[in-house]
Each structure stands twice: as C-alpha cells, then as structure tokens.
Structure 1
C-alpha cells in the first residue's frame, strides 16, 4: 500500500486553494450577475412562452432588436459611469437627432448624407458642452445633463413646431442610407450588427488600451488619477461626447427605419440606459464595471420586455421586474466589489 507523503498533501492543498481562487475570481467578475440573471429569466420565458414562438427566430429577433438600440446607448453610458459620471441628456439627443434629420431631408430637401453629418456634429457638440460644464464647473453631472436634457428637448420641440407646426416630420432617404441604418433580415434589424460591433470595440477600448485604464482610474480615485498624470478632464469630455454619439446613432436608425422623425423620441432611454449599466455590474461610485455586463444587461431588458408580451402577461409588470433587478443589482454589485478587492 502506498503512503501519502507530506509533499503530496501540501500539493493537494495548494491545488485546492488555486482552484478555489480561480472560481472566486470568476464569481466576482462584474458581468457574472447579469449573465446568471439573463439565463434564469430567459429560461423562465422559454418555458412559459415557448409555444408562443418566443424561442423562434422572429421571437429572438424581437428581443434582440430592443436590446440592440438600448445596448448601444447603454455601452456609452456604462463607460461614462465607470469614469464616475452620468449622462441624462441622452433622451433629448435621440429626439433632436431624429427631428434634425427628418426636417432637413423632408422639409428643406437637403442631401441626406449632409444631414447625417450635421446631425452627428450637433450631438457631438452637445456632448462636448456637457463634458466641459462638468469638468470646469464641478457641478455634478446629474444636474448638468438633466438641465441639458430639458434644454435640448425644449429646443427640439420649439424649433420643430416653429418650422413645421408639428413635432414630427417625414424623412427622405436613399437606398444606401436605408441599407446602412435600417436593413432587415426577417424581423432582425441591422441595429443588432451595430450593437455587436460597438460591443467588440468597447471591450477592446476598455481592456486593451491606455484610455481604458484612464477610464477606470478616473472613476476609481479622481485625485490619485490626476496625481499619476491621467488627463481626467479629457477622459470625461470624450466619454460625454461618446454618449451623445451613441444616442444620435439610435435616433438616426429609428428615423431611417420609419422614414419619420419625432422630437419626443428617446426619453425612455434617460433611465433605461443607466439601469442596463447598473444591472450589468457598474458601481454608481465609478471605477468598476464590464462591457460584457452592459451587453448582458441590455439583453436582459430585451428578454423581459418581449418575453412578457409573448407570455400574454400584462406589460405593466415590466416595471416591477426592472425595479427589483435594479435593487438586487446595486446590492449585489456593492458586495461583489468588496469581494473582488479582497481577492486582489
């Protein structure tokens, strides 16, 4: 019979500790909570609404379409929240982009590509103003962007009524623009591809570039980041411009898809995008989060929104689900953050 030596026992203990350490590091990743919630909720609706075609191609495309548009904005808002700031002007940017594009092409018969450039430039300007106001005045971004949301939304509504006597307008497009922003395959919209590309680029930006390190540093400890030479003001301004760009892209896609713009579009994103980021693992205090978490959060929102419809339940229950998820996510994320710090 063989005997167990001290070295064998020590090796076994070390191996067990290493396995536990690896498992713990996986568990404390920011996106794990959102992924588990997504799998659980999807499984429930797959059983409850499976016979109603929820798991079919069209059913899957339906919730992916919802997740894609929200996910594009949620990615940008999530990155900004990692840096310790929040942008509530995204709703107004969606609406203003929609009405600018539609009025320019539908009322004044301007070239659609020119209007696309003007629409995006306007959104970037709004983001630039938000960023500069935050970094130069030290006013909380919640207040700055809330004020911007009202100002931009009011300007869009006022100008729309002044120029067209209505808050909506038809858009004139061309086949190339339609293919780029409104192509469809069955029920699946091209916005899904935009979202996947944006997610891949965001993963690379946050985890593989110096700018990504600056984002974490800015949100983790602003004073220490400045002391280490991180251009925190530049980081924040760029990220504010990024949220406006993402919101403008969604506004453009909605306008091109329906060949119609509306100045009131997008207000739902004001709170939906931060909800996606929080469910996806970001901390409200900044310095912690995951791009994959934001993507899972958007998917979870899409599954709940469409799953309730396919199940035949009252869609008012969506708000209850989301409220409970946000509360659980904030609690869990705070605990996971503490656990992650202990692992390091």
Structure 2
C-alpha cells in the first residue's frame, strides 16, 4: 500500500512576518519618525499636566508659535540637507523688517516699495553668503557667523542713526500698510478661535519643500550636494547654483517672517532675532535632519518646529519656570542627534540590503 508523501507547507506566518519586519524597518528609517514619536509624547504629557493646554485656543496659539519658527526652519532644514549652515537666519528676519520700516518712514514712500527693496536686499545677502562659501571654500559656519555680526551691528547702528532710538517708529499710517498686513499678518475666526495666516503659509511652505525634495530634480540635487558635493559635481549636478539657491531660500523665508513681524506689531526692536538661528537649527535636527548633510525631510522639520511651539507654551500653561525651556531644548538636541544617527544607519543598512 503506497503512501504519497507531501512536502510540508511553509508556515503561513513567515512571509507576513517578513513583510511586517520590512515595513517596520522602513518606518523606523524615515527621518521624521523619531520627531513624530517625541511630539506625541510631549503633547500627551502637557495635556495631562496643563489643563489650559487642552483648549482649542491654546492649540492654535501653539500652531502660531510653531509657524513663526517653522517657516524659516524649513529653509534652514533644506540648507542643512544640502550640507551647509546659516547662522545669520535669525538676525536677517529683523533686518528685513527694519529695512522696510525705516526706508518708508524716512523717505515717506509706499510700504510696498519698501517691502520689495527689503526683499531684494535679503536675497542679495543670501546670494553673498552662498557665493562666498562656494568661491572661498571657507565653511558656511564662519561665513554666516560674520554675516550675523555685520547685520546685528548694522541693525542697531543704522536704526539709532535714523530714528534716534533702538526701535522703529509706528508705520501703521503709511500708505500700503493695510494691504501688506492682509498678506503677511492676517487672521480669521473659527468660532472663538483665532487662526493666524502664518499657520496657513507654514503649511504651504512645508508642502512645497516636501514636494521639491521628493518629486523634483532640484530635490535630488539638494540631497546629492549634501551627501557628497564632489561626487555630485562629477555626475553633472550644478553644485554652486544649488547651494547659492538654498542660501537665498533661507533669506527669502527670513524676509517673509520679517514682514509678518513688522505688519503684526507695527514697530520692531533692532536688537531682536539674536539666538533664533539656533531654534531653526534645533527644529531641523529634532525633525531628523543630520548635521552632516544629505539626510532629512521637510515634514520632519515641521514636526520639530511644532515640538518647539508645544514646549515653549506648554511650560507656561503648566505654570513652570520658563527658564527650564532652554534646558529642555538642549536635552532634545542631544537626543535628536543620537536618534538621527541610529535612523541614518538603519536607512543605510536597508539600502545595502
């Protein structure tokens, strides 16, 4: 009596396990995953400990605070993916507003003229930063540190020379102010909640940056010049143009927030903005951008900015000493660097495998 021997069927769970492991590894290798987990933990933490944090008004205030940092952080993140830094990003925000305000007040011209000239000036600063970095070979850290000190001193010195004080005059009565305010500092109500236009602009800029990085040739160039500029140049990537363009992008977004600050508050303090450059860098690093370049994405930078907004206001809502905020930023930066290195190794291992 013969028997038919059948080979044992493979365990049905093995392929699904491999699929699940592959999916998990892909998720863990994404730059923004660490920041997303941290954002969820911090959000739940403040929901539990700060009752006033739970209202819709508080949430949209957090979004506004995040957007003011996040818009410039998008440009800084793109620049860091491209392998460079811009330490003048914080000061250029107020340089833009001061230039627009003082020019129009002193010469009595329409605010639109001043806004346009301010934009050209900021783009020129970005171009100069990028040009000097690429033509001299001096690290961008040093070039933009020099720009930082020049702008900081000029902001204070020129403002005092023109107005006699360290603040600009109220320009809300100059022609063009109201229409520009609608562009840069408008808001609207949803019930009892105030939604600032800067939040919508933030979403737009993040979406545009994410699309550029993931779907366009320029995005490939940015990753290439940040990963290895020499190799990128060898395959035809326009390294000089790409990096100068990234510096100019930072300057443009700095100008945009400078306009928001001016047209929201009508006047500016010339010494403001110092130290904000580190907030932009921290938002990018917490969001998964490597300090060595070539790795990161815009969504992660946006999450990093959101973490900044949650923490800066959550500490206040919880009734704690706000001086602890800087300590928190330092801890987050150190943890982010460690997580980013781990994620980068996983992503590299997945590509090799």
TM-score interval (norm. to shorter): over 0.9
Q: Does 1:199 align with 2:200?
A: no
TM-score after normalising by structure 2: 0.93
- How far 1:7 moved relative to its partner? 4.4
Structure 2 counterpart of 1:171? 171
Report the number of matched residues: 339
- How far 1:105 moved relative to its partner? 2.7
TM-score after normalising by structure 1: 0.95
Structure 2 counterpart of 1:280? 287
State how 1:108-257 maps to structure 2 within 5 Å.
108-169=107-168, 170-172=170-172, 173-185=176-188, 186-257=193-264
Q: Does 1:97 align with 2:90?
A: no
Cα pair 2:177 2:263 within 8 Å, conserved: no
Structure 2 counterpart of 1:8? 10
Which of 312, 316, 327 aligns to 2:323? It is: 316
Q: Which moved more, 1:178-187 or 1:155-164?
A: 178-187
Cα pair 2:28 2:346 within 8 Å, conserved: no
Separation of aligned partners in 2, 1:4 and 1:241: 69
Cα pair 2:133 2:139 within 8 Å, conserved: yes
* SS of equivalent to 1:107: helix
Cα pair 2:129 2:143 within 8 Å, conserved: yes
User: Deviation string for 1:96-153 (max 9, x for gaps)?
Assistant: 1111111123333211111110111110000000000000000000000000011112
* SS of equivalent to 2:268: strand
Q: Which moved more, 1:160-169 or 1:319-328?
A: 160-169
Separation of aligned partners in 1, 2:195 and 2:273: 21
- How far 1:281 moved relative to its partner? 0.3
Structure 1 counterpart of 2:68? 69
- How far 1:15 moved relative to its partner? 2.8
- How far 1:164 moved relative to its partner? 1.0
Give structure 2 stretches of 5+ with no counterpart. Answer: none
Cα pair 1:101 1:171 within 8 Å, conserved: no
Separation of aligned partners in 2, 1:259 and 1:163: 17
Give structure 1 stretches of 5+ with no counterpart. Answer: none
- How far 1:333 moved relative to its partner? 0.4
* SS of equivalent to 1:30: coil
State how 1:293-312 maps to structure 2 within 5 Å.
293-312=300-319
Structure 2 counterpart of 1:23? 24
- How far 1:4 moved relative to its partner? 9.2
